[in-house]
Amino acid sequence: MRRVPLRATDKDSVLTEYDTSTISTPTISTPTSGDDHPAADERLTFDDLGVIPEIQQALAAEGITHPFPIQSLAIPIAILGTDMVGQARTGTGKTLAFGISLLQRVVVPDDEGYATLLHPGKPQALVMAPTRELAMQVARDLEVASRVRHARVLTVYGGVGYEPQLEALETGVDVVVGTPGRLLDLANRRSLDLSHVRVLVLDEADEMLDLGFLPDVEKLIAHTPSERQTMLFSATMPSAIVSLARMHLRQPINVRAEGHDAQATVPDTTQFVYQAHNLDKPEIIGKLLQASEVGKVMIFTRTKRAAQRLSDELEDRGFAATSIHGDLTQTAREKALRRFREDKVSVLVATDVAARGIDVTGVSHVVNYECPDDEKNYVHRIGRTGRAGAKGVAVTLVDWSDVTRWKVINKALDLPFDNPPETYSTSPELLADLGIPEGTTGRVPGAERKEHHSHDGDFLEEGKHGKRQGGKHGERGDRGGRHVERAGDRGGRHTEHAGKATEATERPREERTPSTRVRRRRRNGEPVDGGSADTTTAQTPSGGTDSAESAAVGSDGPRRRRRRRTGGHGDVAGPSEG
């Protein structure tokens, strides 16, 4: 019989030991309190859970001294090497629940037994995460908890070069955190040796299921030894995840950080749901960003184009905003997240790729710019606020076409928003609910639309519906441009010819000099009057006479036909009468 000591957070019901030989998958849940807030239990410390002093010291330096419910239940079990399935809502401290025990079980170079390892420097723990952002967040938390113990943590994910990751693996690492794709790639190249892994963690397993990573996860598990500790953590437990746990976990203990009847969303997050028109949403967002008690704001969209378009719109309205989506390179995504964490921008517009793994302090509001696809996406979106006992606000804007989808989400999560009220940016209820001052507009006071100057001095005004070209003095310059373009295309003439003609017509008339033409008259190929040349002077604006016409009138003999241009069309005049 194998007995595992346990501690519960409720002082009236302390579980001293649990017999795991009689029941294959026992379940341990924390007693639910009246408000069901996932706050840290100040009656317990990490020392009470059996955490070593080095990790306690590193956590205390970050102000973490009391465990959260999922941590107080999971850490004593995980330290002993027992397989476990942890289920808790987003933002309740799942990362440290497995991270502390993982760091305590690995042997680091400063430990006495490191030299006796069969293969020192090979990974002893593996953490798989569904997204790059989540992998980086988990690695960051592990590095914080191991600052005193000096565990070597390597983050492995795609979108970046192989060289730094290969060099770190050759130097030696203790813990590897990564996404399934890049991990499997390195394992197939035999650059990543997983045959010495003691602890295997599957974080956000339901998300890996949704993204289609389970086949890669199965292959990676096959690279690890059978005698290992396996921990699976997730916010939801679909049937496929339960089957995965039964296949790869040995007599796991199911740990829940709340009662079975607890709601999926964090109670510390105040939720508002409005039925809004798509064209009015930017104005609503602009007013919300100027509400009282607004810190950092995360806005979620369905598509990559919508995220980029909304980010550009908010920047045009004067807000410090950036975006993160799949069209950006990994370097650009990391830069955007870093700017958001460092308070260089206060608004982050993202797709669902960032809904998991972004643990940024100070996020006061989360906005669902578009209705999520299902209840799981909704839970993980609004889970970016109200984390670790902090308060938060979640606002969901539902289009008319998404009302049915929202009702399905509302019913699945048992929320009281079955019929969202029709709301506009000028609705008094919106201003009152979100704390928006009266008279606030959707644009930062003093912000002007960006004008991008072109090479010829005209400006391109970038507005909501694209770019419009204007003249230097505000007139519509596109008409003149079209005229010149048509003139250049007609008859094979080029634009520069039209430009010269325009310059000639704009020259003052009094500055023009009379042009002279030398015309040699011939008849049947023979010069007339001995081939003498007549000089014809063009008529000046003052009304001068044609010298050729005067010579013809004053000469003896019959009148001769002469050529003259009338009306500028090259017509030939007939014989003169009289």
Burial class (CB in 10 A: 0-12, 13-18, 19+), 296: buried
Tokens of 180: 């399934």
- What is the structure's pLDDT at 115? 86
Tokens of 143: 């590095």
pTM across the whole model: 0.61
Q: What are the residue boundaries of the structural domains of the chain, listed by start?
A: 3-256, 269-434, 449-480
Which helix H or strand E contains 231, and what residues bound it? strand 229-234
Sequence-distant (6+) residues with CB within 8 A of 374 are: 408, 409, 412
Torsion-angle region of residue 94: left (phi > 0), alpha (psi -120 to 50) or beta?
alpha
pLDDT in tens, 254-272: 988 765 445 555 567 899 9
Residue 504 has pLDDT above 60, yes or no: no
Of 30-39, 164-173, 238-247, 253-262, the one with minimum mean pLDDT is 30-39
- What is the structure's pLDDT at 530? 53
The CATH superfamily label for domain 269-434 reads P-loop containing nucleotide triphosphate hydrolases (3.40.50.300)
Residue with tokens 């070597």: 152
- What is the structure's pLDDT at 238? 79
Sequence-distant (6+) residues with CB within 8 A of 206 are: 234, 235, 236, 237, 238, 241, 376
Residue 366 has pLDDT above 90, yes or no: yes
Sign of CA dihedral 190, 195, 197, 202: positive
State what percent of residues in the chain have pLDDT above 90: 44
pLDDT in tens, 330-345: 888 889 988 998 899 9
Confidence tier at 560 by pLDDT (50, 70, 90) = low
- What is the structure's pLDDT at 258? 62
Write down how long the chain is: 578
Q: Is residue 467 helix, strand or coil?
A: strand
State what percent of residues in the chain have pLDDT above 70: 68
Confidence tier at 76 by pLDDT (50, 70, 90) = very high
Could you tell me where the DSSP H helices lie in 289-385? 304-316, 330-341, 375-382
Dist CA 188 CA 538 (whole Å): 89
- What is the structure's pLDDT at 321? 94
- What is the structure's pLDDT at 549? 45
pLDDT in tens, 146-181: 999 999 999 999 888 899 999 999 999 999 999 999
Average the pLDDT over 565-574 and give the result.
52
- What is the structure's pLDDT at 527? 73
- What is the structure's pLDDT at 352? 80
| Average predicted confidence (pLDDT) for the chain | 77
Average the pLDDT over 418-425 and give the result.
94
- What is the structure's pLDDT at 516? 65
Residue 458 has pLDDT above 70, yes or no: no
Domains 3-256 and 269-434 agree in fold: yes
CA-nearest of 349, 366, 386 to 93 is 386
- DSSP strand pairing (153-156 vs 175-178): parallel
- Choosing among 3.40.50.300, 3.20.19.10, 1.20.810.10, 1.20.1250.20, the CATH entry for 3-256 is 3.40.50.300
- What is the structure's pLDDT at 61? 93
- What is the structure's pLDDT at 323? 92
Confidence tier at 326 by pLDDT (50, 70, 90) = confident
